[in-house]
Amino acid sequence: MAFDEELGDRVRALFAGAPDVAERRMFGGLAFMVAGHMACGIIGDDLLVRVRREDHDAVLALPGVRPMDLTGRSMRGFVLVDAEGVAEDGDLATWVDRAVDVVGDLPPR
């Protein structure tokens, strides 16, 4: 599965100059790792976002958000945001910041 290279460039620009960020090909897409933890990524045209488990259901109620389900089973703590939900730079930044906040609470790997 190919991923949206333009969206990748936009996310990459948000991480420009940030310490301890790495890119890794995963799930047929692109993942952005922060301190060794997957924060967000791109699968097809969608943004994969790590969210707090306790916020998972509330985040799913937001427009353009659906469960991450690549194996037939939803993965709690991760959601997919459709292209419309990240079309504006400010919206994309909000989602990426949310993911970075979540991994910021985890111990570095």
Q: Is residue 9 part of a domain?
A: yes
Cβ count near 57 (within 10 Å): 11
| Number of separate domains in the chain | 1
Tokens of 57: 């259901």
Residue 84 confidence (pLDDT) = 96
Tens digit of each residue's pLDDT (9 = 90 or more) over 67-92: 998 777 888 899 999 999 999 999 99
Q: Is residue 109 part of a domain?
A: no
Q: How far apart are CA 71 and CA 46, in angstroms?
A: 16
Q: Is residue 56 part of a domain?
A: yes
Q: Is residue 49 part of a domain?
A: yes
Q: Is residue 69 part of a domain?
A: yes
Tens digit of each residue's pLDDT (9 = 90 or more) over 17-35: 998 999 999 888 999 999 9
What is the percent of the chain where pLDDT is above 90?
A: 84
Over residues 39-55, mean pLDDT: 96
For residue 88, the enclosing domain spans 5-104
Q: Is residue 33 part of a domain?
A: yes
pLDDT of 65 higher than 80: yes
Residue 1 confidence (pLDDT) = 59
CATH number of the domain at 60, please: 3.90.1150.30
Residue 105 confidence (pLDDT) = 92
When the pLDDT of each residue in the chain is averaged and rounded to a whole number, the result is 94
pLDDT of 58 higher than 70: yes
Q: Which residue has the higher pLDDT, 9 or 2?
A: 9
Q: Is residue 77 part of a domain?
A: yes
